[in-house]
Structure 1
Amino acid sequence: MSSQTLTTVLFLAVVAVTVGVTIWASRQTKGAADYYAGGRNFSGFQNGLAISGDYMSAASFLGISGAIALYGYDGFLYSIGFLVAWLVALLLVAELLRNSGRYTMADQLAYRMRQRPVRTAAATSTVVVSIFYLLAQMVGAGSLVALLLGVESAALKNLTIVGVGLLMIFYVTVGGMKGTTWVQIVKAVLLMAGTVIITILVLAQFNFHLSDLLGAAVDNSGKGQAFLEPGLKYGIDLTAKIDFISLALALVLGTAGLPHILIRFYTTPTSRAARKSVLWAIGLIGSFYLMTLALGFGAAALLDTGEDSAVVASAGNLASPLLAEAVGGGEGTTGGAVLLALISAVAFATILAVVAGLTLTSASSVAHDLYANVWKKGTASERQEVRVAKIAAFIIGGIAIILAIPAQTLNIAFLVALAFAVAASANLPSLIYNLFWRRFNTRGATWSIYGGLVSCVLLVIFSPVVSGSETALLPGSDFALFPLSNPGIISIPLGFLFGFLGTVTSKEPEAEAAYDELEVRSLTGAGAETAVIH
């Protein structure tokens, strides 16, 4: 069996398994609680696997290993940022949000504030963050399938992105949260198993001596000792150093504002199960990011990372699949073909699981927050709400497909960092203020969300990401007025500042009065499933 045939068979097997799981889950989905929160009956271990599946995206598996392969130490900083970020989410937001919400992030904010403005703002932010993240996953899918199936035509790459988009719409509309969660559990198991296999094979090439691996990476990279030192990507000049600080802030603070991660805590029956799922997730996620070191430096040691190489041409996104082929015996060997196909199928499963989670989150927010509570003012039936969520999934999936096609030249870890910046700027300030500041009110929440969101998106539009460089979205244009690639260092403080100014310039006694009740709910989880909105 040829490499391409084997890959195609494995791809189709992964798709068949996930489609089967989704159809099975659809038969278990009876109402809104099943569709949005999986019926709240996933155990701590199951939800821990699903959280890991949601968090360890294609950006981690493909983008981070690629960044390490190209930039060494500076690429590894992505891993550190993603891992440390999880602790911020755990300690500041996750359990408190789970206890005081119902289906979406906006439930927690709207509990003691005016429904319509807060839910509208939260839903808008959720959709924008999800679309940024979706772009990264779709770009990864295009790169993967193009490599494996020998697709060089731009039209066929675009068709791949459309195909992934249609699959994710299917998962969300048919399976809901139950289907999406089981797809994420299957994906987490596959991803961990595949990563362990490749890590062991890479280390075996160097007799399990990490220093030999790093030495070979230095020699093969062509960059000398600088490959293992800070500054190869972010230490070139002052702007690059500030850009790194901005990136670090976005990564560390962004996770606590990512809606598709936070709603995973609504799927457990109790706070204890939520805490247990966090422990499982930390163990799995921590192990995975340690292994990205072996993948990234292994790719630098064993692959061609020169200017004309496939690794550089894909912005690093193909480092892991090509490494799998190399440690399996190289191009043209049976072992190389099997491992390349296996790792690529795992990466494809990763993409499918994460895009499903993202689409479900944004569609749920549109249906539950905008349709049911803003437009219908709480009068919509559960059946109507779920139907609107399915329609929203089609629309959001379509937007993601259209935007992903011109974004294929960008590194997907970098695209995810932008999503983190938007989440940290728009969502995190309002969540932190609402949980810990009694005086925080409706104007503060809306100013915080819109202020952080608009400032972040505007800075991205006028940054080198969109124009002014060869790898920009619009390489032929140049309106890059803002010098940093990641806007977090400016937009995150602005989000907190707008929230503060909005609060101190208005008074809302009913919001203050409801704070004690929200605090009890957030600490104990009492009544979380039947939240009464003030």
Structure 2
Amino acid sequence: MKVLTVIIFLVILAVTMAITWWAARRTRTTSEFYAAGGNLSARANGFALAGDWMSAAAFLGFSGLVSLYGMDGSLYAVAALVAFLVVLMLVAEPVRNTGRFTFGDVIDERMRSRHARLAAVLGTVVVNLAYMVPQMAGAGALIKLLLGVSYDVAVVLVGIGMIIYVLFGGMIATTWVQIVKAVLLLAAAIVLVLMLLAAVHFDPLSLFASVEHLYGPGMLTAGGYFKHPLDPLSLFLSFMFGVAGLPHIMTRFYTVPDARAARKSVLWLMFLAGSFFLVTTLIGFASATFVGQATIRAADKGGNLALPLLAQYLGGGPGTFGGQIFLASICAIAFAAILAVVAGLTLASSGAIAHDLYVNVIRSGKVSEHEQVRVARTATLVVGVLAVLLGLLAQGINVGVLVILAIAVAASSNFPVILLSIFWRRFNTAGVIGGVLAGLVSSVVLAFIGPAIMKGHAIFPIVNPTVLSMPIGFLGAWLGTLLGGRDPENEARFDAFVFKTHTGFNLGERR
């Protein structure tokens, strides 16, 4: 039985590695390494974005939260449905029109300043590492369950796979692995939901009744996980504005030929990921009913294994042929999902280090194509090792909560800078630095002293710090701008920058 489980796992892994080999033969230039040559269709990029967004948090964390805490966990899934509205309306087109490979490109297009680009590098790397940690934690829990290896060994295996994807295949490999992973995830979700509905005779309301009977009416009301009245508001603020500040999401808009395709790819994403998130509440309640909260907590105290354990139950139970096959398939798909997400995060981080820091700050753009790709691959190794080390520290924490904390950092540091760059003429380099630093420091500190990390000993009472840290980020950007003084040259460039954000052309350039 164990041999068959391993075979299923290795087959799915082999498919993704074959994609990497194929992509490596087509990755020669910096544009191909960072942005897949900018030739993806809106549909392909939409599937890849969905693969990016349907991460370990969505697949494991949200359903785990619902299984342990009830409707409070559902708020994470509902908030995810509206997360890309701000991206669609405010970010996708300007980012595609003004950048080339990274978040730092957008900031530099407005500020023309090395210091502003350095601040963008800091915001990119911190947010990406914060987002990587829960992916590594989710993978560690999965592989421990599936293969019986220790959590530490599992995290290291994920790190090796992630580095291989990016090191050899770049954005082309990452994109196609994400597309394959999105299709597999959606197919697995459809099968799983059909099986759990069959188990309740296609009466989903009976799941709610069963949960209420087993665990009390508190599972169907607010307050199971969120203890502070501002927690739901802070969660929604984090989703609405944090996703627009995620660097690995921004880089996906450089893989399409124009802003119109970037907008269409967001619409594809909203349809695909929205359909997926709608069923996480059913999966969570089914896990609580059929598997049991005690069993879920025994497997992983953060609830991250609720969905795989449900798959095992619906397949026939532990020790049965069907149970092991379904468990292995779900775990292998989830593992591929995690590898795809961390590969995208690693690529965005290595791009910030190589393209922004090394090429444009240290070498002032005087770098050959070959050298830039070589530096990017070196940065990939460094980021991958750092992600593994941080992932080893995250065992037992719900990955859904960790991901939203990462998004809170993006909402507090990167989003204010993007928004003010696009809409405030006086905004300057000092404002970029002030916004990034104020947002990063406040969100990270508040997250670490909050309930998500310190549990019952929390100093800050709100799980997600965005409700306070995002205003602090805007305040830092505003104060930095005022203290930095007027910058006539920067203000004079504002009209040309705004024109380019909406058209993709430089002012005065003819179509």
**TM-score of the pair, normalised by structure 1:** 0.92
Identify the match of residue 462 of structure 1 among 411, 431, 449.
Answer: 449
Code of the aligned partner of 2:283: L
Give yes or no for the alignment of 1:259 onto 2:261. Answer: no
| Cα distance in 2 for residues equivalent to 1:293 and 1:484 | 23
| Cα distance in 1 for residues equivalent to 2:70 and 2:460 | 27
Residue 468 (structure 1) shift = 6.4
Code of the aligned partner of 1:226: G
| Cα distance in 2 for residues equivalent to 1:231 and 1:514 | 50
| Cα distance in 1 for residues equivalent to 2:213 and 2:47 | 38
Deviations 1:442-484 (A, max 9, x none): 1111111111112222223333444465xxxxxxxx7x54343
Identify the match of residue 490 of structure 2 among 491, 504, 511.
Answer: 511
Q: How does 1:182-261 map to 2 (within 5 A)?
A: 182-220=176-214, 222=215, 224-235=216-227, 240-261=228-249
Contact 2:142 2:335 in 1 (8 A): yes
Give yes or no for the alignment of 1:271 onto 2:269. Answer: no
SS in 1 for 2:392: helix
| 2:334 alignment counterpart | 347
State the identity as a percent: 48
Code of the aligned partner of 2:173: G
Structure 1, 363-372 or 481-490: larger mean CA deviation = 481-490
Identify the match of residue 497 of structure 1 among 461, 475, 480.
Answer: 475
Identify the match of residue 133 of structure 2 among 113, 132, 135.
Answer: 135
| 1:314 alignment counterpart | 301
Code of the aligned partner of 1:73: M
Contact 1:106 1:119 in 2 (8 A): yes
Q: How does 1:424-463 map to 2 (within 5 A)?
A: 424-463=411-450
Deviations 1:407-456 (A, max 9, x none): 10210001101100110011000000011112211111111111111222
SS in 1 for 2:440: helix
Residue 509 (structure 1) shift = 1.2
Identify the match of residue 27 of structure 2 among 6, 26, 29.
Answer: 29
| Cα distance in 1 for residues equivalent to 2:263 and 2:436 | 28
| 1:118 alignment counterpart | 116
Contact 1:218 1:301 in 2 (8 A): no
Contact 1:304 1:311 in 2 (8 A): no
Structure 1, 106-115 or 29-38: larger mean CA deviation = 106-115
Residue 332 (structure 1) shift = 2.1
| Cα distance in 1 for residues equivalent to 2:296 and 2:453 | 24
| Cα distance in 2 for residues equivalent to 1:292 and 1:215 | 17
Residue 119 (structure 1) shift = 0.9
Code of the aligned partner of 1:387: R
| Cα distance in 1 for residues equivalent to 2:48 and 2:266 | 11
Q: How many residues align?
A: 507
Residue 92 (structure 1) shift = 1.6
| Cα distance in 2 for residues equivalent to 1:286 and 1:438 | 36
Contact 2:302 2:397 in 1 (8 A): yes
Contact 1:66 1:311 in 2 (8 A): no
| 1:473 alignment counterpart | none
Q: How does 1:243-392 map to 2 (within 5 A)?
A: 243-306=231-294, 309-310=296-297, 313-392=300-379
Structure 1, 292-301 or 134-143: larger mean CA deviation = 292-301
Q: Name the Cα RMSD after superposition.
A: 1.8
Structure 2, unaligned runs of 5 or more: none
SS in 2 for 1:379: coil
Contact 1:214 1:301 in 2 (8 A): no
Code of the aligned partner of 2:210: A
| Cα distance in 1 for residues equivalent to 2:37 and 2:246 | 22
SS in 2 for 1:111: helix
Contact 1:460 1:487 in 2 (8 A): yes
| Cα distance in 2 for residues equivalent to 1:205 and 1:466 | 37
Code of the aligned partner of 2:74: F
| Cα distance in 2 for residues equivalent to 1:18 and 1:53 | 13
| 1:89 alignment counterpart | 87
SS in 2 for 1:269: coil
| 1:419 alignment counterpart | 406
Code of the aligned partner of 1:407: A
Call closer, same or farther: CA 1:468–1:201 in 2, change over 3 Å: closer
Deviations 1:175-217 (A, max 9, x none): 0111110110110011110011001111111222221122122
| Cα distance in 1 for residues equivalent to 2:506 and 2:22 | 30
SS in 1 for 2:293: coil
| Cα distance in 2 for residues equivalent to 1:487 and 1:226 | 25
Call closer, same or farther: CA 1:9–1:96 in 2, change over 3 Å: same
Code of the aligned partner of 1:327: L
Code of the aligned partner of 1:61: F
Code of the aligned partner of 1:125: G
Contact 1:325 1:337 in 2 (8 A): yes
Code of the aligned partner of 1:449: V
Code of the aligned partner of 1:234: F
SS in 2 for 1:77: helix
Residue 512 (structure 1) shift = 1.2
| 1:401 alignment counterpart | 388
Call closer, same or farther: CA 1:446–1:15 in 2, change over 3 Å: same
SS in 2 for 1:65: helix
Residue 342 (structure 1) shift = 0.9
Residue 522 (structure 1) shift = 1.1
Identify the match of residue 162 of structure 1 among 132, 152, 156.
Answer: 156
Contact 2:13 2:332 in 1 (8 A): no
Code of the aligned partner of 1:500: W
Identify the match of residue 42 of structure 1 among 30, 40, 43.
Answer: 40
| Cα distance in 2 for residues equivalent to 1:329 and 1:112 | 58
Contact 1:243 1:486 in 2 (8 A): yes
Structure 1, unaligned runs of 5 or more: 470-477
Deviations 1:213-247 (A, max 9, x none): 22122223x2x122111111214xxxx22334333
Deviations 1:36-92 (A, max 9, x none): 110011111110100000011011000000001111110000001222111122112
| 1:474 alignment counterpart | none
| 1:58 alignment counterpart | 56
Call closer, same or farther: CA 1:510–1:396 in 2, change over 3 Å: same
Residue 296 (structure 1) shift = 1.2
SS in 2 for 1:241: coil
SS in 1 for 2:279: helix
| Cα distance in 2 for residues equivalent to 1:434 and 1:27 | 38
SS in 1 for 2:111: coil
Deviations 1:137-196 (A, max 9, x none): 110011001111234xxxx32011011101101111100111110110110011110011
| 1:74 alignment counterpart | 72
